[in-house]
Chains A and B, each alone.
Chain A
C-alpha cells in the first residue's frame, strides 16, 4: 500500500521502513506483555477498506474527517482559511506542501527507525493528515479532527497525523477516534505534534475505538524554545490498547503538561506509557494520570520522567493513580524517574487502590443506589484531573463519555 502522488523522498523513506522493521525490536512497555497481539505481523493486516463515508457521519463542526483511507473531508472555518491554516491529506500535501512534509515528517518527533512499530506504521501507511498553522497565527476556535476507523469489513488501518505549529502560533486541536462497523481489526496511528519556538498547542485526544479494535496509538510532541503543549487525553477505547504518549522538551524553557484519564472494562487490556524527557535547561514536564479499572480488565500506567544531562533547572513531576472496582481487575501505576542532572526538581506519586467502603456507605446512606454511588466515587476520583482540563466544554464531553462507558460496565 502506498499513497498516491508520493514523491521519491517519501518512497525511499517508506522503502527504508520496510527493510528495517523486521530488524527492529518491538517497543518495550514495563509490566505489560502484548506480544500475542501480532501488531507487527503482516499476515494480520488485511488491505484498507475503501467504503465511502456513510451519510450519517457528516459532522460539519469537524474540520477534517478521515474514514479509513477514503478521501478526506475538510471543512475549515473562515478564520482558519484566512490565516492560511493547512489541513490536507498526504496525497494533496505531497503536491502542495511537499517541503513541509519532507522537513517535519518523522524528522523531529518520531523517528522511522525508533522501533518496530514506528517503522511498520510507515511501511504500511495508508493515509496521512498534515495540519500546519503558520507563524504568528493564533486561532480562537478549536480545530477538530475526527478519525473514523472503517471496520465494516476486515481491514487494518495505518494512519499518520502530522501537526506543525509555527513560531508564535497558538492552536487547539481535538482529535477524536471512533470505529464504524464490527469487524475485529487493528488500528495503528502515529500523531506527531511539532511545536516550534514560542508556539502553544492545546491537544485533546478522545479515544473511543470499539471493543473489536486492537489499537496502537503513538502521540509524540516535539517542543522548541519556550513552546508549550497541553495534552489532555481520554483513553476510552473498548478494546485492547497500547498508548505511547511522549513529549521531548528540546527547547530551552519549553513546557509539556500531560493529563491522561483512562477507563478499562470487560476483558480489556490497556497499557498507557507516558513519557516526558527534559533535554533542555529550564524545561518543565508534568504528568497527571488517572485510571479506573472495572470488570476483569487490566490497565497499566507507566509514567516516565527523564532528565538528560545538561538540562539544568528542569522540572519533572508526575502523579499516576489507579482505582480498581472489582477483585478481578488488574492495575498498576509505575513511576519511573531517570535523572541525569543535579540541579533539577523532580517528584512523583503513585497509587493503586480500591473503592473506599466508607465513602460508598456514606453515599448510599443518603439513598443513592450502589451503581450510582460507584459512578460518583469514580467521578470524584477522576475529578481533580478533569477539573484541570482546558475548557468546560471538553470537561462536559469527557464526563459524558465516561458516564456512557460506566453505564455499560456497571449495568449488571
Chain B
C-alpha cells in the first residue's frame, strides 16, 4: 500500500523563443492510492501532460511551488531516474525513438537498474517474462528485437509503452493518451494490459480525451482539469456527462475564465487573457 501525493503544484514553462515564462500549472492537488484508478480529462493545452511530466521529473518543466511525494517522501528534488526507481512510470504521449538500442536490451537495462548488482535478472528469466507479455499484448517477438520505437507505428509505440509497464511493474503508472491513435482492437489489447496490472500495490492515473477508454479501464475517480487546475472531481459518471456536454458547459457552470480551442464552435463567451 503506497500513496502518491501532489500538493499545490505550480509549474512554469520557459519558452526559449520569446523569453517569456508562462505558468501552466496553477496549484494542482491530487492524492492517488495504490489499488485506485484515476482519470484526468480536460481540454487541449490545459496542462495534463505537463502534470504527468512534472510528476515524472522532466527537466524542461520548472516547479515554482508545491511538492510531489510517495509515502511522504518528497521527490521534487530527485532526477527522473531516481523517481522511476522510486516507483513512478509514465507512458508518454510521444514515445522517443532511439536507433541502435534494441527494445530488448533497453528493457533489460531498465529492470536491472532496479536490482542489486548481485541480483541481476538472468537472460533466461527475462526472456521468459518478455515472451509472456508479448503474447499477452499480441505483439510479435520481432518487436522486441527491433530498435527502440524506431519506425514503430503510432499504435505500436503505445503498445510498447504498455509492454514496458508490464515488464517494469511500477507502483504508480501515469498513462498519457495511451488510447490516441489506437484502432478498436488495439484499444482493447492495451486496456487488457493495463487491467492485468491491477493489484492492491498498483495505482493508475489515466489521461484521456475519450470516455470510451474508461469503458475498458474503469476509473474510481474522474478529475477535470482546466487552465492549470483540477476544477472538478467525480466518479465514472462525470466522464459520461462530459462526453455528452463538452467542456464549455462545465466551464460556464463553474465560472472559470479559460479559453477553449473550439470556442468559436461552441459559441461560449470568454474573456481574453
- Residues of chain B touching chain A, judged by Cβ–Cβ distance below 8 Å, are 56-59, 79-81, 84-85, 89-90, 92, 95-96, 98-101, 105-107, 109-110, 113-114, 147-148, 164, 168
A51 CA to B57 CA, complexed, in Å: 58
Which of these, A366, A376, A377, A381, contacts B84 with CB under 8 Å?
A366
Known A361-B80, A364-B80, A380-B100; judge A372-B109 contact (CB<8 A). Answer: yes
The answer to whether B95 touches A365 (Cβ under 8 A) is no
Which of these, B57, B81, B90, B105, contacts A369 with CB under 8 Å?
B81
Q: Is A26 an interface residue (CB 8 A)?
A: no
The total of interchain contacts (Cβ-Cβ below 8 angstroms) comes to 79
For A176-188 the 0/1 string (1 means CB < 8 A from B) is: 0000000000000
The answer to whether B81 touches A367 (Cβ under 8 A) is yes
Chain A nearest CB: distance from B133 CB in Å?
15
The count of chain A contact residues (Cβ–Cβ below 8 Å) is 23
Chain B nearest CB: distance from A172 CB in Å?
25
Chain A nearest CB: distance from B87 CB in Å?
10
Beyond the given pairs A368-B81, A381-B100, 4 more chain A to chain B contacts, judged by CB atoms under 8 angstroms and listed by A's residue number, are: A366-B113, A367-B85, A367-B113, A377-B101
Q: Is A370 an interface residue (CB 8 A)?
A: yes
Nearest opposing residue in chain B for A380, CB measure: B100
Across the interface, which residues of A come within 8 angstroms of B80, CB to CB? 361, 364-365
Which of these, A366, A369, A377, A384, contacts B168 with CB under 8 Å?
A366
- Residues of chain A touching chain B, judged by Cβ–Cβ distance below 8 Å, are 357-359, 361-370, 372-373, 376-377, 379-384
The answer to whether A376 touches B106 (Cβ under 8 A) is yes
Chain A nearest CB: distance from B93 CB in Å?
12
A367 CA to B56 CA, complexed, in Å: 11
Chain B nearest CB: distance from A296 CB in Å?
24
A382 CA to B98 CA, complexed, in Å: 12
Listed A/B pairs (27) with beta-carbon separation below 8 Å: A361-B58, A361-B59, A361-B96, A362-B96, A363-B109, A365-B56, A365-B84, A366-B84, A366-B89, A366-B110, A366-B164, A366-B168, A367-B84, A367-B114, A368-B84, A368-B106, A368-B110, A370-B79, A370-B81, A376-B98, A376-B106, A377-B101, A379-B100, A380-B100, A380-B147, A380-B148, A381-B100
A339 CA to B56 CA, complexed, in Å: 53
